[in-house]
Structure 1
Amino acid sequence: MANLTTKQKAFADEYIINGGNATQAAIKAGYSQKSARAIGKQNLTKLYIKDYIQFRLKPIEEKREVTADDALNELISIWQGDTQNGVSKTMDRLKNGEIVKHIEYEYTPDLESKLKALDLYLKYKSLLSQAQLEKARTEIKLMQAKLEVLQRGDEESTEDKLDELLNRISGELDGVD
């Protein structure tokens, strides 16, 4: 995983905390309010930032035993207006958080909830698609570079060719900020 700048790391962490709001994440990470929207959008196109976000989300998903697909399916369920289950608890803080009332109920999402679910679904689906596209582009560049090096047919050893290839690819990837 590439090294993120302090602001990029703060942005990614805030992006997770803010539920996918890139503009607010950029502001809280220390970018100016004037450029926050553009910076937030730009940061989400950087593969190493997306990788860091996925890296940070993975333990949370595993702990809760919820995959990204599960979460996306739940957002679709809300967007479609399927009946949802809710829980309400009343706790007595004076008695060490003892639960005084526990109510389970069903509800149908309102229009605002449906629109929020659709918005989140499209944001995360887009983020995943962009990461997959960027990965495919990187793999294509790697294969093209391998082909070039191997087609040269000069007298360099295979090890030297591979070293040259890796240096070339890592140089290209460093410039993809």
Structure 2
Amino acid sequence: MTKLSVKQQKFADLYIETGNATQSAIDAGYAKKSARSVGSENLTKPDIKEYIDKHMTEMADKRIMSAQDALELLTRIANGEEKETKVVATQFDVSEVEVPADLKTKIAAVKEILKRYPTENPLTQAQIRKLEAEADIKEAQAAEAKNMTDSSSEVMIVDDIPED
């Protein structure tokens, strides 16, 4: 990327902020009469476009939560480190209090974390073993059926395992 002139960079920065090419051109110091065409033209120049795209991507990256950020937030909630504001009303006054998340919220946060880190659940392991065994049986039956010759008068039942 070649270096932008001071005016071009100011235009690009203003455009990133406002999204208005004409006003950005005026505020960057271009003549009012030609601001509309200059603004439009600046948006087609490769160097200015690259500068704007790069900065817009950086801004988007900062606004969007990463998976790591989400897990860290869930962990802080589960540990009671993240506080929320609750309004407490009495017959005399109303006040705001910072409190950790309630138990239901903590449990939900822990469940969300555990979804990403599955443990060795005996039931899940048994279900996996059953599915693997069924797949092995079906593969063996398919291989046996494939090896049978057309002249054979034998009939083979491939699906003789009851489904649950």
The TM-score, its normalising length taken from structure 2, stands at 0.39
Which structure has the larger Rg? 2
